[in-house]
């Protein structure tokens, strides 16, 4: 099939690239001329494992192209994907201005039999409004469907190619047949493609993300309780997770969730409920717990140093909100860095992918951007860990201790075993577990 994918952000670029890898003729469209020219030259604007190679291969083989021109790509397209951003507005609702601009731009160029698919995460009812607006602009009933994405940053290509399920909201058999045919190569392992109303598919996206966010906030609240009562959250988590009704996924305590999806989607669902005179008590609580949890390392640091961190040097491992991405949106590291800067501490940071994004935000307020993990702990008073990158999991603790001025670690991701840190002579704070205090005798 011939596809036009409008928007080359995270969702649009992964979607277009993966569909081209399945043999489709895909044109990705973006208003940003510099980004488009960069993509033509193999410059990928985001970090996602495996994406760069996939873009280059399919571009070189002629299945994937890039343009700024809707008029160039849409007239021949069997399917037009809308995959532009829907950022959170000041009210908490999704900002749909980019979606409406795309609808207005594509209307004069749509084939009568083309299917317009909304891939962007949008509030319930948006698909119907897209349908109405296209009818008004074209003078005919257009085929408009919904196909929400369920991609995790860091594993987006596998999530696309090997989905748990594909959710499609359709109004007619034409759209259903096209989407079934398009997704057929992804469903050879008997994973389902679920057809439902556009409204149900839109709500499915929000409900799924909100449920996962709820699990994260719940286990973090139990972790905080564990610290107070002397329990070990890892034991509690294992005891819970073996209950098949609960499971282990997203049941890991830490510094909460971040990124572009969970925070925005939980708040958008909250906003939608409020506009319908419903009381979104659970969603509000999920968001409040998460915002509070993001600064849990700050509270531990503040308590350990009794509020006096001025002049102390902090090594910081991990800046992205999660491993295998350079995304720092709503990352817990931001709360920590802001606190340390305001308090007058010195800061040395390391992250495999996110340092340039942090540099763009904080500049020389960060004292040193380090090329390797050990450089970031040279002479520091303590180490703070925000992101569970694999390269942080198994350090040589003897070497680590020798590098540090003081053997103090604040671990927001529970990377290390308490007994090992105790034997190595560290003071160690983690999440939902007892603190380890170095023997100073």
Q: Does 334 show up as a binding residue in the annotation?
A: no
Q: Does 205 show up as a binding residue in the annotation?
A: yes
| Cβ-contact 176, 202 below 8 angstroms | no
Please say if 18 is a catalytic residue: no
Q: Does 252 show up as a binding residue in the annotation?
A: yes
Q: Does 2 show up as a binding residue in the annotation?
A: no
Count helices and strands in the chain by DSSP H and E runs: 17, 14
Of the listed 18, 142, 168, 261, which one is catalytic? 261
Provide the token pair at 381: 């008073």
CA–CA gap between residue 274 and residue 93 (Å, rounded): 10
Q: Does 368 show up as a binding residue in the annotation?
A: no
CA–CA gap between residue 151 and residue 159 (Å, rounded): 6
Provide the token pair at 422: 């105790």
Q: Does 297 show up as a binding residue in the annotation?
A: no
| Cβ-contact 27, 50 below 8 angstroms | no
Q: Does 253 show up as a binding residue in the annotation?
A: yes
Q: Does 105 show up as a binding residue in the annotation?
A: no
CA–CA gap between residue 204 and residue 199 (Å, rounded): 9
Q: Does 419 show up as a binding residue in the annotation?
A: no
Q: Does 150 show up as a binding residue in the annotation?
A: yes
Q: Does 35 show up as a binding residue in the annotation?
A: yes
Q: Is 95 exposed, middle or buried (0-12, 13-18, 19+ CB in 10 A)?
A: middle
Provide the token pair at 337: 């860095």
CB atoms closer than 10 angstroms to residue 112: 9
CA–CA gap between residue 90 and residue 393 (Å, rounded): 38
Q: Does 254 show up as a binding residue in the annotation?
A: yes
CA angle 28, 31, 37 (to 5 degrees): 65
Q: Does 78 show up as a binding residue in the annotation?
A: no
H/E stretch holding 167 reads strand 166-169
Q: Which residues are annotated as a binding site for NAD(+)?
A: 30, 35, 86, 121, 153, 264, 329
Q: Which residues are annotated as a binding site for substrate?
A: 150-153, 205, 250-254, 258, 322
Q: Which residues are annotated as a binding site?
A: 30, 35, 86, 121, 150-153, 205, 250-254, 258, 264, 322, 329
Q: Which residues are catalytic?
A: 261
């Amino acid at each position: 099939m011939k596809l036009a994918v409008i928007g080359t952000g995270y969702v649009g670029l992964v979607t277009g690239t993966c569909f081209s890898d399945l043999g489709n003729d895909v044109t990705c469209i973006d208003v940003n001329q510099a980004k488009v020219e960069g993509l033509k030259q193999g410059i990928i604007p985001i970090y996602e494992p495996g994406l760069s190679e996939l873009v280059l291969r399919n571009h070189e083989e002629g299945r994937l192209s890039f343009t700024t021109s809707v008029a160039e790509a849409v007239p021949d397209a069997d399917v037009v994907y809308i995959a532009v951003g829907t950022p959170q507005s000041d009210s908490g609702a999704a900002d749909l201005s980019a979606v409406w601009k795309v609808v207005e731009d594509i209307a004069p160029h749509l084939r009568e039999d083309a299917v317009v698919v909304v891939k962007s995460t949008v509030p319930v009812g948006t698909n119907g409004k897209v349908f109405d607006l296209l009818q008004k602009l074209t003078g005919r009933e257009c085929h408009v469907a919904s196909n929400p994405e369920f991609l995790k940053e860091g594993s987006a290509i596998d999530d696309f190619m090997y989905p748990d399920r594909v959710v499609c909201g359709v109004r007619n058999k034409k759209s259903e047949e096209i989407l079934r045919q398009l997704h057929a190569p992804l469903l050879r392992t008997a994973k389902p493609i679920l057809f439902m109303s556009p409204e149900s598919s839109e709500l499915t996206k929000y409900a799924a993300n909100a449920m996962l966010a709820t699990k994260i906030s719940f286990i973090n609240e139990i972790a905080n309780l564990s610290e107070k009562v002397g329990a070990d959250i890892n034991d509690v988590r294992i005891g819970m997770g073996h209950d098949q009704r609960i499971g282990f996924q997203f049941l890991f305590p830490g510094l909460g969730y971040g990124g572009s999806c969970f925070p925005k989607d939980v708040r958008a669902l909250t906003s939608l409920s409020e506009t319908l005179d419903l009381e979104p008590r659970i969603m509000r609580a999920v968001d409040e717990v998460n915002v509070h949890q993001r600064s849990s390392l700050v509270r531990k640091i503040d308590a350990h140093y009794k509020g006096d961190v001025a002049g102390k040097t902090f090594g910081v491992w991990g800046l992205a909100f999660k491993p295998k991405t350079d995304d720092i949106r709503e990352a817990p590291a931001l709360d920590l860095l802001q606190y340390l800067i305001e308090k007058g501490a010195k800061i040395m940071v390391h992250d495999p992918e996110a340092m340039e994004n942090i540099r763009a935000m904080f500049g020389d307020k960060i004292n040193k951007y380090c090329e390797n993990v050990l450089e970031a702990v040279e002479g520091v008073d303590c180490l703070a860990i925000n992101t569970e990158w694999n390269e942080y999991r198994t350090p040589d603790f003897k070497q680590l201790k020798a590098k540090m001025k003081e053997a103090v670690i604040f671990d927001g991701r529970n990377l290390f075993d308490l007994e090992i840190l105790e034997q190595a002579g560290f003071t160690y704070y983690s999440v939902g577990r007892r603190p380890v205090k170095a023997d100073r005798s």
